[in-house]
């Protein structure tokens, strides 16, 4: 019979290391692991698709400039938030986000459903000089976003996300799967070999920054902001549709 003594643990640093790691991982395992198995963690909902190449670069710029330090992207199911920001965020709406940009601070307003709330012009003006449109704003100015957008590595960025499980298509077979899942129009945007072409086309057509001739970081960031929270059409569901998932 193994004679277990506390002293044995305390005097064997290797054993203690293993046992400490086991002990502290219990909390994480108990809270996180079941979420992978519970059916409704990610709500079944129509309309959510991975970002287009331009929106994806916009998301990178959002991250690079640390927007998430002051802006959350997580509308909680509270009345005051529902009135100000709209429908509470669904897990399904962040399912293609790596990493999540939920944030934890709100020096600025929540941006989970900012898409469509303001015009592109307002977004550009506000990013260049926040106080010119919102006098009481404490947001820093981002005039340097009007520099050209680097998108030569867009394919690699998409491939990295594909490795993480985002359904960007690298092969015609994957493209066919996407056409089935998202429809031909969105599937086209998710096809990695056409990424550069799609990015340029969206920036030209959208002209988010008001300079149709050039593709800037502003184009990408505004394209991203304008799609936030707009993918799910909540009018298609009863207003308690997602109650059953909790």
Partner 1 sequence: MTDQVQSQAPQTTGHVWDGDLQEYNNPLPAWWVWAFYATVVFALIYWVLYPAWPLGKGFTKGMDTITYVNNLGQTKTVPWNTRALLMKEMNKAAAEQKPYFEKVMATPYAQIVHDPELSNFVLSAGRSLFLNNCAACHQSGGQGLHGLSANLTDDYWLYGGTFAKIQQTITYGRHGYMPPFRDVLSGTQIAQLANYVVSLSGQPADQTAAKAGDVLFHSQTAACYYCHGVNAKGRSVIGSANLTAPVSWIWTAYRSSNTPAENVAAVAHTIEGGVYKGVMPTWKDRLTPVQIKVLTAYVHELGGGQ
Q: Could you say which of 78, 163, 165, 176 contacts partner 1 (CB under 8 A)? A: 78
Please measure the distance between the N-terminal and C-terminal CA atoms of the chain and give it in whole angstroms. 48
* DSSP tally for the chain: helices H, then strands E: 11, 0
Shortest approach of partner 1 to residue 167 CB, angstroms?
24
Contact 115, 225 (CB under 8 A): yes
Residues 42-61 within binding reach of partner 1 (CB under 8 A): none
Shortest approach of partner 1 to residue 37 CB, angstroms?
6
Q: Could you say which of 44, 116, 148, 193 contacts partner 1 (CB under 8 A)? A: 116
Between 165 and 212, CB nearer to partner 1: 212
Asked whether position 117 contacts partner 1 by CB under 8 A, the answer is yes
Beta-bridge partners for 191 = 169
Q: Record the tokens describing residue 45, joined without a space.
A: 């909902």
Between 12 and 156, CB nearer to partner 1: 12
Which range in 121-129, 140-148, 150-158, 181-189 contacts partner 1 by CB under 8 A?
121-129
Rounded Cα–Cα distance for residues 193 and 156 (Å): 10
Q: Record the tokens describing residue 117, joined without a space.
A: 């709330």
Which range in 16-24, 50-58, 77-85, 139-147 contacts partner 1 by CB under 8 A?
77-85
Q: Could you say which of 25, 107, 132, 171 contacts partner 1 (CB under 8 A)? A: 132
Q: Could you say which of 48, 102, 125, 194 contacts partner 1 (CB under 8 A)? A: 125
Omega of the bond leading into 99 within 30 degrees of 0 (cis): yes
Q: Could you say which of 105, 121, 153, 163 contacts partner 1 (CB under 8 A)? A: 121
Q: Record the tokens describing residue 217, joined without a space.
A: 């970081």
Between 69 and 122, CB nearer to partner 1: 122
Residues at the contact surface with partner 1, assessed by CB under 8 A: 6-7, 10-11, 30, 33-35, 37-39, 76-79, 82, 84, 86, 88, 116-122, 125-126, 132-134, 210, 235, 238-240, 242-246
């Amino acid at each position: 019979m193994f004679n277990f003594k506390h002293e044995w643990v305390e005097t064997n640093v290797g054993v203690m290391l293993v046992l400490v790691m086991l002990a502290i991982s219990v909390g994480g395992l108990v809270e996180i692991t079941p979420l992978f198995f519970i059916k409704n963690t990610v709500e079944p909902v129509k309309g959510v698709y991975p970002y287009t190449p331009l929106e994806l670069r916009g998301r990178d710029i959002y991250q690079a400039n640390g927007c998430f330090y002051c802006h959350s992207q997580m509308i909680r199911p509270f009345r005051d938030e529902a009135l100000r920001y709209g429908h509470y965020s669904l897990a399904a709406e962040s399912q293609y986000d790596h990493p999540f940009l939920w944030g934890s601070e709100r020096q600025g307003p929540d941006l989970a459903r900012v898409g469509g709330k303001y015009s592109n012009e307002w977004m550009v003006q506000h990013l260049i000089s926040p106080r010119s449109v919102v006098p009481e704003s404490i947001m820093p100015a981002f005039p340097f976003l009007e520099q050209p957008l680097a998108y030569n590595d867009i394919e690699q960025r998409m491939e990295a996300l594909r490795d993480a499980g985002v359904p960007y298509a690298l092969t015609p077979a994957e493209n066919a799967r996407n056409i089935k899942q998202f429809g031909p129009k969105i599937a086209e945007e998710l096809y990695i070999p056409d990424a550069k072409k799609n990015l340029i086309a969206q920036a030209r057509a959208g002209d988010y920054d008001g300079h149709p001739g050039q593709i800037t970081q502003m184009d990408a960031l505004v394209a991203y902001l304008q799609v936030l929270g707009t993918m799910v059409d909540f009018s298609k569901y009863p207003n308690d549709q997602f109650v059953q998932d909790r």
